Amino acid sequence: MSNNDNSVNMTAPSRGYHHGDLRAALLDAGLDLLKSGSAETLSLREVARRVGVSPTAVYRHFPDKAALLKELCIRGALELAQAQAQAMRAAGGGRKGFAATGGAYIRYALANPVLFRIMMANMPPGGFFSSDFSDDQVGIKMLRDNIKSLIPDKAGEEGVLFGMLMSWAQVHGLSMLMLDGHIPVSEDTIKAFESSRLEFRFVPDQPSE
Amino acid sequence: MSNNDNSVNMTAPSRGYHHGDLRAALLDAGLDLLKSGSAETLSLREVARRVGVSPTAVYRHFPDKAALLKELCIRGALELAQAQAQAMRAAGGGRKGFAATGGAYIRYALANPVLFRIMMANMPPGGFFSSDFSDDQVGIKMLRDNIKSLIPDKAGEEGVLFGMLMSWAQVHGLSMLMLDGHIPVSEDTIKAFESSRLEFRFVPDQPSE
DNA sequence: CGCATTATGTTTACAGTGATAACATGTCGA
DNA sequence: TCGACATGTTATCACTGTAAACATAATGCG
């Protein structure tokens, strides 16, 4: 949505200034480039070029490249979270639903390799916990709720946190290793993962073997 | 292991035009830069500068930047594998030893953030399985042997592979999420991970709950 | 030994990048 | 109306990777 609207489409909507809504256009173009995956790295100038504006126009709307990237990160993260939420609904919730969110995570990464990579590397610290994701069925909160409902109560808050870490790390690791070409990219593997059951159990640290 | 012998010493063997062993010096300098973690991205020119040579001299020894990076990847991977092997020995092998290799993986990533990242992103496809790591106690082979000895025989070859994927993804995910600042970097978490017991169980895909 | 061939390093140059400063232009409020 | 302000442009800088032409050292062959 909203990618072909270079200059012709967007002229009218609000009384506009120069170029319609350049800020939004830049974000759209940026997301578009990242999703097309053509370039391994996003160039500020390329974004400007795409929108048909001079390179430095970008700086009227973003202090620097990192700021643009940051916003694109958030867009990507929202999209990812939505994909996960939808997968969860489609799977009917519960343990299967949770597994489906994991599968959706990996599939999103594979479908948007450049975006995903940049998103993860440039998301501001704690970005995934930001209030942008306060929506009930989105992101970290979804993960937390799932873990909470799927592990024994006695695990406690610490157990919930540990479960979150481990689950997230699991799908994130699979995603990254696949993206980087270190393990085969295979829908079968993803399916196997989805229908496997992970357990993380604390083992008291004993000196004896 | 060979970075002290080149950094500043180039005075003795390198009077003048020809630098003793430029190729090695470039690799050492590159590794040094990546390990210092100062720059988020390695610059070819910076490496050359470091060695005291003109920027384009690099091209006499490497076709392009990617080639240099590739070799640095391999160095890093070897070092990582050695760290894992050592951790395994220190832990006395067995299940604890295996857990220790995971901890070593994460700690190596945290100790060498730039190197680790670049290494993972630039390692050629299948690089971790390359013959450079044919040493008995190194890398993927170590992982495979560990998994094989720690899961039930009935799991079969497919089970071994799945276990390898899942274990690797687990530690890799934790490493990346910590590096990217998405989960807290904490030795406690690493320790908790090491003393937890992971189980991956295939669950037959049943329509019922 | 002498000299050509080859390996290695340098200079110069080019296209591309993110970024700053100075300038231009359109928009809107008093 | 008109000037302040927001927005976009041009010029420029420092940096990057890389190619081409050039310079020098090492090597080997007569």
* B137 within a domain of the structure (yes/no): yes
Rounded CA-CA distance A190/A6 in Å is: 37
Asked whether residue A46 falls in the same domain as residue A79, the answer is no
Q: What is the mean pLDDT of residues B12-31?
A: 79
Q: C-alpha angle with apex B114: B111 to B120, nearest 5 degrees?
A: 100
Q: What are residue A30's DSSP bridge partners?
A: none
- pLDDT at position A45 over 90: yes
Tens of pLDDT, residues B118-129:
999 999 887 887
Asked whether residue A108 falls in the same domain as residue A31, the answer is no
- Owning domain of residue A110: 72-194
* A169 within a domain of the structure (yes/no): yes
- pLDDT at position A5 over 90: no
Band of pLDDT at residue A48, cut at 50, 70 and 90: very high
pLDDT of residue B204: 57
- pLDDT at position A2 over 50: no
Which protein residue lies nearest to nucleotide D23, measured between its Cα and the C1' atom?
B17
Q: What is the mean pLDDT of residues B139-160?
A: 91
* Residue of chain A minimizing CA distance to B170: A170
pLDDT of residue A139: 79
Q: Please check whether strand C approaches the CB of B56 to within 7 Å.
A: yes
Band of pLDDT at residue A30, cut at 50, 70 and 90: very high
Q: How many CA atoms lie within 13 A of B167 on its CB side?
A: 29
pLDDT of residue B1: 39
pLDDT of residue B18: 72
Contacts of A174 in chain B (CB under 8 A): 165, 169, 173
Band of pLDDT at residue A18, cut at 50, 70 and 90: low
Single residue among B17, B47, B62 that ends a domain in this structure:
B62
- Tally of domains within chain B: 2
- The answer to whether A92 contacts chain B (CB < 8 Å) is no
Domain CATH number, residue B15 = 1.10.10
Band of pLDDT at residue A3, cut at 50, 70 and 90: very low
- pLDDT at position A9 over 70: no
Q: What is the mean pLDDT of residues A126-138?
A: 65
- The answer to whether B188 contacts chain A (CB < 8 Å) is no
Between residue 59 and residue 118 of chain B, the positions with Cβ below 7 Å from nucleic chain C are 60-61
- pLDDT at position A73 over 90: yes
- Count chain A–chain B contacts defined by CB atoms under 8 A: 128
Q: How many CB atoms lie within 10 A of CB B96?
A: 17
What's the CA–C1' distance between A21 and D7, in Å?
Answer: 11
Say whether A4 sits in a helix, a strand or coil: coil
Band of pLDDT at residue B29, cut at 50, 70 and 90: very high
In this complex, the nucleotide whose C1' atom is nearest to the CA atom of residue A67 is C18
Q: What is the mean pLDDT of residues B169-192?
A: 96
pLDDT of residue B72: 96
Q: How many CB atoms lie within 10 A of CB B151?
A: 17
- pLDDT at position A188 over 90: yes
- pLDDT at position A153 over 60: yes
Q: What is the mean pLDDT of residues A105-132?
A: 90
Single residue among A60, A87, A102 that ends a domain in this structure:
A60
- pLDDT at position A105 over 90: yes
- The answer to whether A51 contacts chain B (CB < 8 Å) is no
Asked whether residue A47 falls in the same domain as residue A86, the answer is no
- The answer to whether A16 contacts chain B (CB < 8 Å) is no
Output the average pLDDT for chain A: 86
Question: Lowest-pLDDT range, A25-39, B7-21, B108-122?
Answer: B7-21
Q: What is the mean pLDDT of residues A113-120?
A: 97
Asked whether residue A39 falls in the same domain as residue A101, the answer is no
pLDDT of residue B10: 36
Report the gap between the CA of A28 and the closest CA in chain B (Å): 25
Beta strands in chain A, from DSSP E residues, in sequence order: 196-202
CB contact under 8 A, A94 and B189: no
Asked whether residue A143 falls in the same domain as residue A54, the answer is no
Question: Lowest-pLDDT range, A2-11, A162-171, B15-24, B70-79?
Answer: A2-11
Asked whether residue B108 falls in the same domain as residue B154, the answer is yes
Asked whether residue B167 falls in the same domain as residue B104, the answer is yes
Q: What is the mean pLDDT of residues B78-90?
A: 94
Question: Which backbone phi and psi does A199 adopt, to 5 degrees?
Answer: -135, 135
* A172 within a domain of the structure (yes/no): yes
* B203 within a domain of the structure (yes/no): no
- The answer to whether A128 contacts chain B (CB < 8 Å) is yes
Q: Please check whether strand C approaches the CB of A32 to within 7 Å.
A: no
- The answer to whether B8 contacts chain A (CB < 8 Å) is no
CB contact under 8 A, B201 and A200: no
For CA atoms A66, A67, A73, A76, give the dihedral sign.
negative
Band of pLDDT at residue B54, cut at 50, 70 and 90: very high
- Hey, of A73, A147, A165, A197, which one would you mutate to test binding to chain B, going by the most B CBs within 10 A of its CB? A165
Band of pLDDT at residue A201, cut at 50, 70 and 90: confident
Say whether B9 sits in a helix, a strand or coil: helix
Q: Which of A173, A196, A201 comes nearest B203 by C-beta?
A: A196
Asked whether residue B138 falls in the same domain as residue B56, the answer is no
Asked whether residue B87 falls in the same domain as residue B121, the answer is yes
Asked whether residue B150 falls in the same domain as residue B82, the answer is yes
Domain CATH number, residue A131 = 1.10.357.10
